[in-house]
Structure 1
Amino acid sequence: MHYREFCPNSFLKNYVQCYFVCETDTAVFTQDKVFATGFIEVMFNLGADGPQQLINGDLITQPDVQLWGQTIQPFTFTSFGKHSMLGIRFFTHTAACFFNERIEEFNDQVIDFKDIGGKEIALLHSKLWEAKSIDQRIELIEEFLLRRLSLFLNKYTRLALVNSIMHDLCKDDFFENINSVASRYGVSSRYLQKIFLNYSGLSPNLFTKIARFQKSIQLVAVKNSSLTTIAHQCGYFDQSHFIKDFKFFTGSTPSQFSPESSTDLFVTLYN
């Protein structure tokens, strides 16, 4: 598998974490475990073979353009084919700025993006297919994103506030409860919960758990630290809380976990 990331332009860099390309040289059978990352992604299939998922022994053709919502519950995505995917990875709280739909409606789903975007998405996919270079493809994607942003951005005027709160929640020494955070920003805890859900599809508590989990899973994968040390480094109250959260997000305990099962984790560790 070949994986590359590309930076967005200066304006979109506040909304898009990266664009990425994931390709294989030949048709491969892939059994990939998908865990919570905190990100929402859109993926365009640009390969000669359409994406196919293996379900109950049958290969089922998948949408050419997929919207991956926030993954909370782990699942296994089994596929076959020669892959050539071009993706957009949004920050946790920015995908909402490009959609009219409530972002939490996408949680734990892989959706046909053409069902949401209609002819515009079908036309974009066709243009991406015909484009001769990755630079041309990124230019097409950015033109599309800027059009979407102009349509919906006025609905999301508290982006800077949510960004600041997320930054605080990710700090290693963060131990405040949500009421004190809301008070510090001059809003009610109920309002904070509401805007957090509107922008990210997650509650503040769930976002914090995913952020801790993402840090812990990388430490578990490299196998250089004890579980007690990892729990402490990632801000868990104790080892038992760490193991409980880890099992919730992966379906296995840290000692049973196999990092090779996840493409996302492989990419994070080796690229």
Structure 2
Amino acid sequence: MNYQTFEPHPDLSALVKFYWTLQVPFDPNNEKQKIIPDGCIEMTFNLKDKIKRYVSEDDYLLHPNAMIMGQRTKSYFIEPVGDVDSFAICFYPYGFANFVGSSLQELVDIETPLETLFGKAAADTLEEKIIHAANTQERIAVIEEFLLDRLNQNTTIENLVMTTVDALMETNGNTPINQILKDNLKQRRKLERDFRKQIGISPKQLGKVLRLHTALKMILNEEESLTNIAYESECFDQAHFVKDFKEFIGTTPKEFLGNKHMELSTLFYK
């Protein structure tokens, strides 16, 4: 597997976290790979063969070649049917809302073809340019021209939404929402509505994703003991942390390490 990341242009750096590429030669012995939510929305282009996304043990859907992967509330399995060559844009939690007018709640836990959001003509033109670009740098230039042209100057991310996302990201999901809102119930209801529209999921869901994502990186890098990781994730004890981890990822922290189905996630998050 060859995975690389690239920095965005400064004009997009507040909205785009990074670009990434992934090349994986086909191997009939490859295992399904589990993808774990990270709190971001991605625009992805498959430049070679199709990729399956499993909806049950045996049933699957084929990813569109050019798509938006909405916020995820649960882990899921994918499996390539041939060679993998992918180029993708990873947006910050409130980044993608600046390029579309629809509610991002409609994109949660699904893959949406680009033409659904940008129209067939624009989506087809963009996909053709990405496919025929000579290298990654040309693809980045193509997508940045598209994003800067699509940047909706009339889209205003609610200040409270941005403040909440920033607070959650700065503390790895550990800032209590009540602390941000100062127990203002009316304001909380508005935040919930605006958050689902402009982020896709609730503040509580994003906080949980960020906490477990951070814990996962610490486990992969063997930075702390499970007890310390549980404490830093604001769980009552190690048992609660292991329970939350297994519910979200499908394995215990110890089972995650070295798991053949987690090789891709290990690559992404390490």
Which residue of 2 is the match for residue 125 of structure 1?
127
RMSD: 2.8
CA-to-partner distance for each residue in 1:81-107, whole Å, 9 max, x for gaps?
111111010001211221222111111
* Distance in structure 2 (CA, Å) of the matches to 1:196 and 1:91: 14
Q: Which amino acid aligns with 2:145?
A: E
**In 2, Cα distance between the equivalents of 1:121 and 1:232?**
46
Tell me how far 1:219 sits from its aligned partner: 2.3
| Per-residue deviation, 1:162 | 2.7
Asked if the contact 1:173/1:235 (under 8 Å) is kept, the reply is: no
Tell me what 1:94 maps to.
Answer: 95
Aligned to 1:229: 228
> Identity over the aligned pairs, expressed in percent?
27
Q: 1:259 to 1:120 in 2, by over 3 A?
A: farther
- Residues of 2 paired with 1:174 and 1:84: CA distance? 32
State which drifts further: 95-104 or 60-69.
Answer: 60-69
The residue number in structure 2 matching 1:145 is 147
2:168: which partner in 1? Answer: 169
| Residue equivalent to 1:244 | 243
Deviates more, 1:130-139 or 1:55-64: 55-64
Report SS of the residue matched to 2:67. Answer: strand
* Residue equivalent to 2:110: 109
C-alpha deviation, 1:62, in angstroms: 3.6
Distance 1:179 1:144, change over 3 A: same
User: SS of 1:155's equivalent?
Assistant: coil
Match of 1:18 in 2: 18
CA distance in 2, matches of 1:199, 1:213: 22
* SS of alignment partner, residue 151 of structure 2: helix
Is the CA contact (8 Å cut-off) linking 2:173 and 2:210 kept in structure 1? no
1-structure distance, mates of 2:77, 2:220? 18
The number of aligned residues is: 263
Which amino acid is 1:45 matched to?
A: N
Distance 1:174 1:87 in 2: 25
* Partner of residue 5, structure 1: 5
1:226-249: CA deviation from partner (whole Å, max 9, x where unpaired): 322210122223223312221221
Partner of 1:46: 47
- 1:183–1:189 contact (8 Å) kept in structure 2: no
Letter paired with 1:211 = L
Partner of 2:196: 197
* Conserved 8 A contact 2:173-2:206: no
**Per-residue CA distance 1:170-221 (angstroms, 9 max, x = gap):** 4559876433412499x81222222222221121111111111011112233
Where does residue 82 of structure 1 map in the other structure?
Answer: 83
Amino acid at match of 1:126: E
| SS across alignment from 1:132 | coil
State whether residues 246 and 252 of structure 2, in contact with CA within 8 Å, keep that contact through their aligned partners in structure 1: yes
What 5-or-longer segments of structure 1 have no aligned partner? none
* Gap change, CA 1:188 and 1:161, over 3 Å in 2: closer
- Cα distance in 1 for partners of 2:174, 2:33 equals 34
* Structure 1 residue 57, shift from structure 2 partner: 6.9
- State the TM-score, normalizing by the size of structure 2: 0.85
Deviations 1:34-93 (A, max 9, x none): 11110111111223xx31428677997542112211111111112221111110100012
Q: Is the 8 A contact 2:46 2:66 kept in 1?
A: yes
Cross-structure match for 2:212? 213
Matched, 1:64 2:65: yes
Aligned equivalents of 1:200 and 1:189: distance in 2?
15
What's the CA shift for 1:19?
1.0
Tell me if structure 1 keeps the 8 A contact 2:174–2:207.
no
The separation in 1 between residues aligned to 2:175 and 2:68, in whole angstroms, is 34
Q: Which residue of 1 aligns with 2:154?
A: 154
Task: Point out where structure 2 has 5 or more consecutive residues left out of the alignment.
Answer: none
Residue 259 of structure 1: CA displacement? 5.2
| Preserved contact between residue 52 and residue 80 of structure 1 (Cα < 8 Å) | yes
